[in-house]
Every structure is written in structure tokens, then in C-alpha cells.
Amino acid sequence: MTTADAATGGTDTRRPWWRRVFGKHPIGYLFAGPYVLFWLALFAWPLYLAVYMSFRDWFFAAPGAVVDRPFVGLANYTDVLSDPAVHRAALNVAIFILINVPLTVIVSLVLAAALNQVLPLRGFFRTAYYVPYVTASVAMIAVWLFLFSNGGMVNQVLGPLAPDPSWLVNRYWAMPMIALFATWKQLGFYVLLYLAAMQGISETLYEAAEVDGAGPLRKFWSVTVPGVRSATALVVVLATIVGANFFTEPYLLTGGGGPNGASVSPVLLMYRAGIEQGDAGWAAALGVMLAVVVMALSAVNRFFLEDRE
Amino acid sequence: MRTRTARLVAVTAVTALALTACSVGGGGEEPGDGDTGAADDTGAATGGSETAGGGGGGGSTGPIDIWYSNNPEEIEWAEQVIEAWNGDNPDQEVSAQELPAGDSSEEVIRAAITAGNAPCLVYNTAPAAVPSFQEQQGLVALSEFEDGASFVEERVGDLAAQYASTDGDFYQIPWKANPVMLLYNKALFEQAGLDPEDPPLGTYDEFLETSRTLVENSDAEAAIYPSPSAEFFQPWFDYYPWFAAESGGDQLVVDGEPQVATEASVAVGEVWRTIYDEGLAPREAAQGDSFADGISAMNSAGPWAVAVYADLDWGVVPPPTSSGTDESWTFSDAKSVGLYTACENRQTAWDFAKFSMSEDNDRLLLETTGQLPLRTGVTEIYADWFEENPDYQPFADQLERIVEVPVVPSSIEVWQTFRDAWSSSVIFGEEDVQPAFEQANTAIGDLIAEG
């Protein structure tokens, strides 16, 4: 221990208790407090409840009701893991993520780079890409149904080349269509993230690259892409989380996970079991497993993609 | 720095504990409440201690609140009934609101039961949801009232048994019915060269032949266009009316035994499989109302359709059967009134429910909504009205032969299990009907046995 440390230790005991707990700037805790409470009430507590429910034969009951919710150990987890619908949903999540995440990163990065240039109508295009993101999913799905239904505009254009059965009731096309819809819908948000990140890349790097003879593509690949690496990590993590939790699309776009369960998702199964059928224990077990998988995927993504300087 | 972090964690933990304590004090949904037995709960909430089957004597009187459906006709009916009641009972005022918006009314009601803020009465309680609301201890057993069971039995006669729960008690008051029948577009039938006044739709063979003719020779793209989506309630508008007809009035579950694999049920599955395989019904959800738009020539609907399709020239027949019958059965598509345990003034709620189903208020329901009161003798009691409104007469006549969804445990899961088998074998033809129905029958039997 240095002399300075010893001195600090000595003064620490003479400080008032609140100073010892909250440090020199207690007002910081005041600012953080509301969010901590929000987080505890709406994230930590429900997560704890979900884990608790997943080990019981749980259903929702009226306040004060005398009901039996026995401890069932891992029964809910084994039921979930042996359910063919869950296997299909897990496969669908994998398909969704495999299409959605790379496509989101590539398209939003390219669009952001284009919109970062001084282009005519730049403001219009920035707004146009953002509109689907801020528009209600229900309205956007109505547009897609109009485009991709059997007699829709896309099939009219494709004529004999249109798939049979049509896109949204075709068991091979239903999931890719959902992934494409989600990519298109979320694109504006990710473009915005990349645009913000691009403002942080020093202009001198582009000038230096030009001096070295780099063309537009080389500058994009060697300056822009590494310069937005942190944003890419964020985009990948967020797209993965959103992808694993998709619900509205199979619920509305493919008529409840159709055709015949080909686009069912884990969250749709949770909704059916927990909300519609009252089997909240089973739904909670699936939710807990989904949360663990998403956290693991996010951790892997961060490990490979984040800057570690 | 490490010391401060530890302190911060300690403060956060204390806050979390405080939050937990607040939350646990708020109701019976938290860990520890449900499983530790009655000791924690008996005194927790008056509403809870007087829940289903308990109490006796009916409860107190005073102001109550109710929820009703959000369609304009039912709102008009409810407003008139409430105005009449409140005028005569100023000390037992009824406040009302439309059912809060949600994906389905069952979802909203279930959430309200859990939160403890369900109203006293909900008009439009689906009979299929009653077992799960009952399991939640959200519904009051009508045996709590002296005339609870007798009111239901007098109101619907022999049908009452279909609304009783497995414990023999009633947890719903049958209110109205919309018998599902087969509507057809006369103009499209005429265009296809079919007799619009006496269409050949009595047997499966006739139905299939008529459907083929319609798709080939009229502007209709589909003969019939039920929703092919996977929701648990969709069978009520394709399978169940036809099953009721084919089986001569059986419910999906008879004496605890599922009927999914019976000859009648499989016959219905096979004929619908043919309908889908031949493209007479699309496998994709319709955009808008396919019957109103002339895209499909037929539609499964109840008497509400009279007003909705006022601009169309349509006819109506009962669901077909394999060999044809003059007395076909169908699904009731009935809605009940539920009395919820969160209600403090239950006697008022019960009295108001009976008042709202009086002969006069049932007439008002008929006049304002076109929906049929679920009571015996409708065609005789309101004969003058049906004479003035003959379009409703076939639906009213059908009231004598209607079937309700079975009031069994896990009712929603039962229907979802069936729908999954139907989607797989009938709509998308990925497996044969017979084995798919047999598998569903076993799964449904297990669900019912588990309770």
C-alpha cells in the first residue's frame, strides 16, 4: 500500500455514510436511479419470474385464488425439447438469422455509405428508408400480402415463373419471405446506426487513402468497413436478438406460422401455450431457453466483432 | 473502485428486495403464493375467498361495471338496456365499456382475470374459453345464486347440459347464438347455370359437383373460402358445422371421449381434403371479404350476415352431409355472459344479467343486432318479427339443432391440436386424413384425461 492509499483509507472512515456508499458524486445515482428501477421492475423481475414458472406446472390465476402449481423439476424443459413444433421453430430461427443478419449488415452498410455521400435528394432517401421502420407492422404486412399473395402484383409480373404454391403458402418460401420482410422493415434503423458511425471516421483517412491511389471501392473496404466495426457488432447483435424473437410476421403474414407450421417461431409457440392455452410453465421454459441461446449468440458475435484495443 | 461497486450492488439488491416485497404484497401471482396452499391466500382478498363455488347467498348489491362487444349494433343494444336498468336502479348503477382492444377478447379477459380488474359481467364470453377462465378461478359458479341453475335450464332447455362444466355447475349464462349455415351467391349460381332457388348442396357429392361447376362456369375464383390459418377457433367455421351435421348433433367430445377419429369426422375431413386438392377453396388467406367481393360463391356465416351482405342476393342452406338430410345440425357459434370473481356486488351483477336477458331485452337484441337470443321458443315468441324479417327465419329454425363446443379442460389446446391435424392433412395434404385424425384423437384424449 502506498502512502497515498493509506491516506485515502484514513479519510474514508471519517466521511459520512452516504458519502462512503455513493462516492463523491451521489447525484449520478439519482440520475441512474429511475432506469435501475425500470430495469429491475420490467426486466430483472419478469426474468426471475419466468425462470421460477418454468419449473412449475404454472398457469395464471385470479389474485387470491387458491391454486396448485406443483414443482415439476425439468419436466417443462424436457417437454419443450421433445416437441416437434419447437424443433421446427428452432430451424426457422436459424433460417431467419442466416438470411436476415448478413443481408441486414451488407445492405444497410452499402445504403448508409451511399447516403453519406453528397447526393441529390439525400434527405428524401434517408426518410424513405426509415419509413417502413416507423410504420406499424400490421400496415406493412398488408402491403406484402398485396404484393406476394397468389394473385398479387409480384406473381402477375412473374407469370409462369411464380412459385406454386405461392410465396406465403409455400413451405420452402415462407421462411425466406419472412426474413426478407423483417430485413426490409428494420433496414432504416440499421442504416441510421451506420450513418452515425460514419460521422466518426476521420476525413484524413480517406484523404490518405486517396494519396495512396485508392479508388471508391478500396476506400469503402479499407476505411469505411473497419471504421464502423463497432456499429457492425451492434447491428449483428441487435439483428440476432430481433431475429430470435420474431412473432408478428408468422402471426399475420403466414396465417399463424403456416403453411402447416413451416414458419412457426418460438415466440409464436410461447404465445399459443402461455397466453391462449394457459400453459405458462411450458411457455416460460421455452422463453428461458430462447433467452439463453440469444445471450450466447450475442456473446459470440461480440467476441468476434467488437474492437478489442 | 471495487469497494464502491460492491456498495452499489448492495444498494441495488436492497432496492430489488423492496420492489419484490411491494410486488408480493399485491396479489397471488408471485412465487410462493400459488404453491404453498391456502394459508397464504384465504385472507388475501375478499374476492378470492368468495370465488367459484364458494360464498353462497349471492353477495352484495351496488354499482357494477360490465364489458360488451365493440360492434355498433351491440353497443346500441347495451346502451338501451343499461339506460333502462339505471333508471329503475339508481343505487345499483351499471357502468359499461367496450371490450378493451386485443388480439382476441379471450386474451383480454384472461389478462384482466390475472390482474384482478375484470368487470362484473362480460357479454361475449366464448364458451370455449370458459374452462380456462374457470381454472383461473375467474368465473363465479352460478350455484352461488338460488336460481342460478334453474335460470339457465329454463332459458335454453335441453341445451343447458352443453353449457355445464365438468363439475356439473354452470360458469356461463348462454346469451345468444349465430348458427353457422351455408350462404350462397345467387347471381354466381345463376351465372354457372345452377338453380339459385334450389341449389344442389344437400350431399357431399352435390356440394363437390356444384363447386366444380361454379369455379369453371362463373366469375367466382373459389367455391368456398374459409380461412386456412392455424388459429384454434378456425375449425368452428369449416369443420365443426359439417361434423355436427354429419354426426347428427354430436359434440367434439362425447362423455369424455373425443370424436375426431369417428367415421363422421373423417368423412368431413375427406370431403374438405378434396375441396382443397381440387382448388375449390384456396390455401391462402383472403384479402378482405371474399364472399362480399364475389371471389367465392359460398360462405359459412350466421344471421349477422343478413345485415352485412344486404347488398348481395344470397340464399342459405344448412351444412351438407354425406347422404343428405332434412334436419341438419350445425355449430351454434354462441356467446355467453360470464360473471367474474373480481366483482364485489355479485347480486346486482346476477340481477342485471337476468334483466338483460328478459323477453323484452332479447327482442331488443334481435331487433338491433339481428343475432338470435339463445332461449327456447325464439321463433314462437318473436314470430311477428321473423314475419317482418324473413331472411332470419332459416337461422332461427336452425336453433332447434345446434351444437356447442364441448366444455372440457384444456379446451383451447384441444381445438389447437385438432386444427394442426386439419392443416396438415386437409388443407395442405401433407399426410392422410385418417391417420392424422387418429393421432389427434389420441392427443386430445390425453389432454382431457390430464384435466
Each residue's pLDDT tens digit, A76-85: 999 999 999 9
Q: Which residues of A158-188 are buried (b: 16+ CB within 10 A; e: fewer)?
A: eeeebeebbbbbbeebbbbbbbbbbbbbbbb
Which residues in chain A have Cβ-Cβ distances shorter than 8 Å to B35? 56, 68-71
Rg of chain A over Cα atoms, rounded to whole angstroms, equals 25
The domains of chain A are located at: 17-54, 75-305
The percent of residues in chain B predicted with pLDDT above 90, rounded, is 80
Among residues B198, B208, B29, the alpha carbon closest in space to that of B113 is found at B29
Q: Mean pLDDT across the stretch A35-58? A: 95
pLDDT category of residue B4 using cuts at 50, 70 and 90: low
Q: Are residues B169 and B272 in the same domain?
A: no
Q: Mean pLDDT across the stretch A119-141? A: 86
**pLDDT value of residue B180:** 97
CA–CA separation, B74 and B97 (whole Å): 12
Angstroms from A256 CA to nearest CA on chain B: 5
Angstroms from B125 CA to nearest CA on chain A: 14
Q: B106 near B413, Cβ under 8 Å? A: no
Does the pLDDT at position B96 exceed 50? Answer: yes
**B369 belongs to a structural domain:** yes
Rounded to the nearest 5 percent, the helix, strand and coil shares of chain A are 75, 0, 25
Flag the least confident range among A54-58, A134-138, A272-276, B4-8: B4-8
CA–CA separation, A174 and B229 (whole Å): 14
Q: Are residues B236 and B315 in the same domain?
A: yes
Q: Are residues B306 and B438 in the same domain?
A: yes
**B53 belongs to a structural domain:** no
Burial grade of A18 (CB within 10 A; 0-12, 13-18, 19 or more): exposed
Residues 6+ apart with CB under 8 A from A306: A229, A230, A233
**pLDDT value of residue A122:** 79
Handedness of CA B443, B444, B449, B451 (dihedral sign): positive
pLDDT category of residue B6 using cuts at 50, 70 and 90: low
Q: What value does the mean pLDDT of chain A take?
A: 89
Does the pLDDT at position B5 exceed 90? Answer: no
Q: B67 near B99, Cβ under 8 Å? A: yes
**pLDDT value of residue A71:** 96
Q: Are residues B214 and B262 in the same domain?
A: yes
Q: Which of B106, B108, B283, B410 to mutate to test the interface with A (most CBs of A within 10 A)?
A: B283
Q: How many domains does chain B have?
A: 2
Which of B387, B403, B419 is a domain's end point?
B403
CB pairs under 8 A between A and B: 164
**pLDDT value of residue A101:** 93
CA–CA separation, B300 and B173 (whole Å): 25
Q: Are residues B415 and B296 in the same domain?
A: yes
**B20 belongs to a structural domain:** no
Nearest to A149 among B227, B287, B420 (CB): B287
Angstroms from A70 CA to nearest CA on chain B: 6
E runs forming strands in A45-140:
none
Nearest to A146 among B19, B34, B287 (CB): B287
Angstroms from B222 CA to nearest CA on chain A: 13
Strands B330-331 and B402-403: parallel
Strands B121-125 and B64-68: parallel
Chain A residue closest in CA terms to B7: A21
pLDDT category of residue B7 using cuts at 50, 70 and 90: low
Q: B296 near B288, Cβ under 8 Å? A: no
If you search the block for the grid coordinates 344486404, which residue do you land on? B310
**B160 belongs to a structural domain:** yes
Flag the least confident range among A18-32, A166-180, B285-299: A18-32
Which residues in chain A have Cβ-Cβ distances shorter than 8 Å to B233? none
Q: What value does the mean pLDDT of chain B take?
A: 88
Q: List, as ranges, residues 58-77 from A with C-beta within 8 Å of B.
A: 58-71
Each residue's pLDDT tens digit, A142-164: 899 889 988 889 999 999 999 98
| B17 against B373, higher pLDDT | B373
Q: Are residues B197 and B300 in the same domain?
A: yes
Q: Mean pLDDT across the stretch B91-98? A: 95
Does the pLDDT at position B34 exceed 50? Answer: no
Burial grade of B186 (CB within 10 A; 0-12, 13-18, 19 or more): middle
Q: B244 near B319, Cβ under 8 Å? A: yes
Domain encompassing residue B78:
64-178+333-403
Q: Mean pLDDT across the stretch B157-179? A: 94
**B113 belongs to a structural domain:** yes
Verify whether the Cβ–Cβ distance A21 to B29 is below 8 Å. Answer: no
**pLDDT value of residue B35:** 39
Which residues in chain A have Cβ-Cβ distances shorter than 8 Å to B48? 62-66
Q: Mean pLDDT across the stretch B89-104? A: 89
Is this prediction's ipTM beyond 0.85? no
Q: Mean pLDDT across the stretch A212-238? A: 92
Angstroms from A102 CA to nearest CA on chain B: 30
Does the pLDDT at position B55 exceed 90? Answer: no
Nearest to B284 among A20, A166, A276 (CB): A166
Q: List, as ranges, residues 277-306 from A with C-beta within 8 Å of B.
A: 277-279
Which residues in chain B have Cβ-Cβ distances shorter than 8 Å to A260? 423-424, 427-428, 430
Which amino acid is present at B337?
V
Does the pLDDT at position A136 exceed 80? Answer: yes
Which residues in chain B have Cβ-Cβ distances shorter than 8 Å to A279? 413
Q: What is the CATH number of the domain that holds B438?
A: 3.40.190.10
Q: What DSSP assignment string belongs to B226-259?
A: ---S--TTGGGGTHHHHHHHHHTS--SEETTEE-
Whole-structure pTM value: 0.84
Q: A137 in contact with B at a CB cutoff of 8 Å?
A: no
pLDDT category of residue A280 using cuts at 50, 70 and 90: very high
Which residues in chain B have Cβ-Cβ distances shorter than 8 Å to A282? none
**pLDDT value of residue A164:** 86
Angstroms from B101 CA to nearest CA on chain A: 15
Verify whether the Cβ–Cβ distance B229 to A260 is below 8 Å. Answer: no
Q: For residue B359, give Cα distances in angstroms to B29, B163, B365, B371.
A: 41, 20, 10, 14
Q: Are residues B429 and B445 in the same domain?
A: yes
**B379 belongs to a structural domain:** yes
CA–CA separation, B433 and B264 (whole Å): 12
**B21 belongs to a structural domain:** no
**pLDDT value of residue B419:** 96
Most confidently predicted of A13-27, B1-15, B298-312: B298-312
Q: Are residues B352 and B435 in the same domain?
A: no
**B14 belongs to a structural domain:** no
Q: Which of A19, A36, A60, A272 to mutate to test the interface with B (most CBs of B within 10 A)?
A: A60
Q: Mean pLDDT across the stretch A124-143? A: 88
Flag the least confident range among A247-256, B41-50, B433-442: B41-50
Does the pLDDT at position B422 exceed 50? Answer: yes
Residues 6+ apart with CB under 8 A from B176: B334, B335, B365, B369, B371, B372, B373, B374
Q: Are residues B299 and B419 in the same domain?
A: yes
pLDDT category of residue A7 using cuts at 50, 70 and 90: very low
**pLDDT value of residue B46:** 33
Does the pLDDT at position A15 exceed 60? Answer: yes
Q: Are residues B296 and B339 in the same domain?
A: no
**pLDDT value of residue B322:** 96
Each residue's pLDDT tens digit, B377-416: 999 999 999 999 999 999 999 999 999 999 998 999 999 9
Pick the CATH number of A75-305 from 3.40.50.1980, 1.10.3720.10, 1.20.1440.230, 3.30.1300.10: 1.10.3720.10
Q: Which of B284, B290, B422 to mutate to test the interface with A (most CBs of A within 10 A)?
A: B284
Nearest to A56 among B4, B30, B35 (CB): B35
Verify whether the Cβ–Cβ distance B132 to A278 is below 8 Å. Answer: yes
Each residue's pLDDT tens digit, B280-312: 999 998 888 999 999 999 999 999 999 999 999
Q: Are residues B259 and B285 in the same domain?
A: yes
Each residue's pLDDT tens digit, B108-123: 999 999 999 999 999 9
pLDDT category of residue A199 using cuts at 50, 70 and 90: very high
Flag the least confident range among A125-134, B86-95, B403-412: A125-134
Q: Are residues B80 and B156 in the same domain?
A: yes
The percent of residues in chain A predicted with pLDDT above 90, rounded, is 63
Please state, as a whole number, how many other Cβ atoms lie within 10 Å of the Cβ of residue A66.
20
pLDDT category of residue B44 using cuts at 50, 70 and 90: very low
Does the pLDDT at position B48 exceed 90? Answer: no
CA–CA separation, A85 and A96 (whole Å): 16
Please state, as a whole number, how many other Cβ atoms lie within 10 Å of the Cβ of residue A93.
23
**pLDDT value of residue A13:** 62
